[in-house]
Amino acid sequence: MVQDTKGKLISENIVKLNKNARTVLEKRYLKKDENGNLIENPEDLFYRVAENIAQADKIYDSNAGVVALTREFYISMSSLDFLPNSPTLMNAGRHLQQLSACFVLPVDDSMDSIFETLKNTALIHKSGGGTGFSFSKLRPRNDTVKTTSGVSSGPVSFIQVFNAATEAIKQGGTRRGANMAILRVDHPDILDFIVCKDKNGSLNNFNISVAVTKEFMNALENNEDYNLYNPRTGATAGTLNAEEVFNKIVSQAWKNGEPGVVFIDKVNDKNTTPKVGQIESTNPCGEQPLLPYESCNLGSINLGHFLKDNDVDWEKLAGIIKTAVHFLDNVIDMNNYPIVKIGEITRSNRKIGLGIMGWADLLLHLGISYGSDDSLALAEKIMSFIRHKSHQASEELAVKRGAFPNFKQSIYAKSNPIRNATTTTIAPTGTIGIIASASGGIEPIFALVYKRAQCLDNEEMYEVNPYFEKLAKEKGFYSSAIMDKIAEKGSIREFKEIPEEIRKVFVTSHDITPEDHIKMQASFQKFTDNAVSKTVNFPNYATKEDVEKVYILSYKMNCKGVTVYRDGSRDVQVLNLANKKENQIQKPLQEIKPRPRPKKTKGFTFLMHTGCGKMYVTVNEDDKGACEVFTQLGKSGGCTSSQAEAISRLISLALRSGVDQYSIINQLKGIRCPSPILSEGSAILSCADAIAKALEACNKEKIIPPLFTQEVSYEIKYKEYTSDPDANLAGACPQCPECGEMLTFAEGCVICRACGYSKCF
């Protein structure tokens, strides 16, 4: 009977997906067997999730109509009207059953606390979650450590420890971990923190934000100094000039987009459970402020599906809000929390975060220009409606299930009982937005036309916004020539051949002023319980003063934080090499010649297990270090063997030409192929990755890990370098490390619209 019900439901509600959406689901979400073969289709996935989450109703009513609720949940997802956060889609109804994306962990001022948190971080990352931390309680650098009569190394040093641990977890083949590090602006080490990501590739597993206080902002307004406080003693630990510190924050954000800022006092002014605790940190993208040990599960409504008679379909929207609140509250009960205390705190406050995607799509269909007064008014109207209806739905659940346990300690204590301490969050919708074919969160459209290379025939194809394409063909201005120009320009405002009414409505992120970004964020924040994930995009020619204005405006308009990105800024950083000396004379490229190979070399041969079979990698050295690499893989003359030989020859040439060994390792390590494998507890992602790890192991300054079968002992000497492929995300127009398409900076993160890759999830 259950199977009949499932089959009938699925056959009546087939999921309609475009090519990108199907690719993302197949790559990241659908179940596979031990050989990597798909054993689930999109309909099966949504039914699996719906059936699993509906089971929570039995906790409160043994006679609950789970079949009917499964149908309700399935239709809401299969129609792509509503989607929960990625961990719920991936894990509900499967062995892991970890359903939350957002976690915040405390970091107290003791070694026990620091490394207990580090252990918990590893467990969360292993389960697919992201973590946020405030390091503000740690004593400053050079402060007293009584137990050892020594001095503290300070918060930044421990952030580096957490970053290295995240790196190790990622290299072990698990899902990518993401972190947020926050430090209060009144911490004595704030100047070190502001510049801790100045060098390209440093702390590449962290977003960083400064927790800005009211005291600081008041001092900034009055051009005064403000106090620093030693977190160990609570005593004043000196002063800094607010304007000088602010200028340093602005300068770094202008340079490479970090640090962001979190207006921590504004966050706590809206804390719904102030008697339970103060909020110190957010999740990695900044939209979810949480108490220590809290988690939150999120979901988003696809506004592009809620149109009726050239207006918002308010009745349909009210229905999906009620379903979504019920769904997200059930997730709390069905969740398998990676740490017991997280489960306890989460169930005590029962925070959920219902948000939106497809905002730009809705505006296009209504003929409203993004950033216009009409768009800001509609933003407030829609978010006010969503918050009101979600609170109403939460109150209805409280009648049946009871209020959240900390209700009497909340701001709602004198109001009607409510099931959830918060109900609304506007989160990044990178991958679920691709699945739903929706614009991301509340961001504008990034581009109307993408130019995409086709590998098989070396031709270029256009990916055009479907609504724009439809109008272009109807109005008669569609052609490959104009699409090519739009793809290069990024905006249609200067194209006189396109009707003015279309140019006015079809604005992209290139057309919107930074001030309009903030106004849009503020309009949604006004009616959002938690916070709003948003990136303020600047053109490359923007000045530091432009960034400063946005930071001030976001504070005055009651945003809870702000993230900026100046187009091309991270590419500029890549070009500013840290070890480049002033007045250094560079040899022309044609003058660089490799040193001759000596007649006699010494080295080691490593047996590497790859997805293509056993690979023998020989790394030889001369008196100046590594000078050549040989590989033997499979049958001589085969395609795989020839590729490995080509890589080896190029590496050898680069080594003898003076190219830094770590640079070569960074380029190769992390490259993925369709057949990654686990070997002796670590992942070999491809043949190139195997060569890089053999080269790394042969370096006399590194420890040879147990991955390698050749046992060789070297003196241990630490040398920091970046082995994360994500370090290459720093470019102005960076490529996705997984599919090679262009990455975009949006919703507080770096995402790929082609394959669903996300730096933060």
- pLDDT tens track for 450-463: 765 443 344 455 67
Residue 247 lies inside a defined structural domain of this protein: yes
Range of the domain at 23: 2-97+299-421
pLDDT for 405? 98
Task: Give the up-direction half-sphere exposure of residue 697: CA atoms within 13 A in the CB hemisphere.
Answer: 26
Nearest to 517 by CA among 209, 747, 750, 208: 747
**Main-chain dihedrals φ then ψ at residue 394, nearest 5 degrees:** -65, -35
Q: How many CB atoms lie within 10 A of CB 384?
A: 15
Residue 45 lies inside a defined structural domain of this protein: yes
Q: 387 and 528: one domain?
A: no
Residue 758 lies inside a defined structural domain of this protein: no
- pLDDT tens, residue by residue, 354-373: 999 999 999 999 999 999 99
DSSP, collapsed to helix, strand or coil, labels residue 424 as: strand
Residue 589 has pLDDT above 50, yes or no: no
Domain count, the chain: 4
In SS3 terms, 508-540 reads as: ECCCCCHHHHHHHHHHHHCCCCCCECCEEEECC
Residue 757 lies inside a defined structural domain of this protein: no
Residue 337 has pLDDT above 90, yes or no: yes
Q: 471 and 348: one domain?
A: no
- Reported as a pLDDT band with limits 50, 70 and 90, residue 636 is low
Tell me the C-alpha distance between 207 and 210, whole Å. Answer: 11
- Percent of the chain at pLDDT above 70? 85
Nearest to 328 by CA among 520, 6, 83: 83
Tell me the C-alpha distance between 159 and 109, whole Å. Answer: 13
CA 637 centroid distance within chain: 42
Tell me the C-alpha distance between 226 and 630, whole Å. Answer: 60
401 or 19: whose pLDDT is higher? 401
Nearest to 127 by CA among 89, 106, 167, 99: 99
Residue 384 lies inside a defined structural domain of this protein: yes
Nearest to 356 by CA among 459, 463, 264, 428: 428
Residue 494 has pLDDT above 80, yes or no: yes
pLDDT for 696? 79
Point out the residues that are catalytic.
283, 285, 287
Q: 278 and 203: one domain?
A: yes
C-beta of residue 689 within 8 angstroms of C-beta of residue 671 = yes
Q: 60 and 125: one domain?
A: no
Q: 242 and 307: one domain?
A: no
Q: 116 and 264: one domain?
A: yes
Residue 584 lies inside a defined structural domain of this protein: no
Q: 525 and 465: one domain?
A: yes
C-beta of residue 420 within 8 angstroms of C-beta of residue 351 = yes
Joined together, the tokens standing for residue 213 give 């206080």
Residue 169 lies inside a defined structural domain of this protein: yes
- pLDDT tens, residue by residue, 24-50: 999 889 999 999 899 999 999 999 999
Exposure string for 262-279, b = 16+ CB within 10 A, e = fewer: bbbebbeebbbbeebbeb
Cα three-residue angle 111-114-115, rounded to 5 degrees: 85
pTM for the predicted model, two decimal places: 0.79
Joined together, the tokens standing for residue 41 give 């289709």
- Reported as a pLDDT band with limits 50, 70 and 90, residue 741 is low
Domain stop point among 239, 254, 282:
282
Residue 287 lies inside a defined structural domain of this protein: no
> Where is mean pLDDT largest: 518-522, 609-613, 719-723?
518-522
Residue 573 has pLDDT above 70, yes or no: no
**Residue-averaged pLDDT of the chain:** 85
Q: 328 and 471: one domain?
A: no
- pLDDT tens, residue by residue, 679-730: 655 678 788 888 888 887 776 434 333 333 333 332 222 222 233 333 333 3
Q: 502 and 518: one domain?
A: yes
CATH code: domain of residue 165:
3.20.70.20
- Reported as a pLDDT band with limits 50, 70 and 90, residue 604 is confident
- pLDDT tens, residue by residue, 415-454: 999 999 999 999 999 899 999 999 999 999 988 887 654 4
Burial class (CB in 10 A: 0-12, 13-18, 19+), 44: middle
Mean pLDDT of 57-69: 93
Mean pLDDT of 111-122: 95
pLDDT for 658? 78
Q: 73 and 124: one domain?
A: no
- Reported as a pLDDT band with limits 50, 70 and 90, residue 574 is very low
Domain stop point among 221, 249, 282:
282
Joined together, the tokens standing for residue 439 give 């614009």
Q: 259 and 358: one domain?
A: no
Q: 474 and 544: one domain?
A: yes
3-state helix, strand, coil in the chain (%, to 5): 40, 20, 40
Residue 1 has pLDDT above 50, yes or no: no
- pLDDT tens, residue by residue, 78-90: 999 999 999 999 9
145 or 288: whose pLDDT is higher? 288
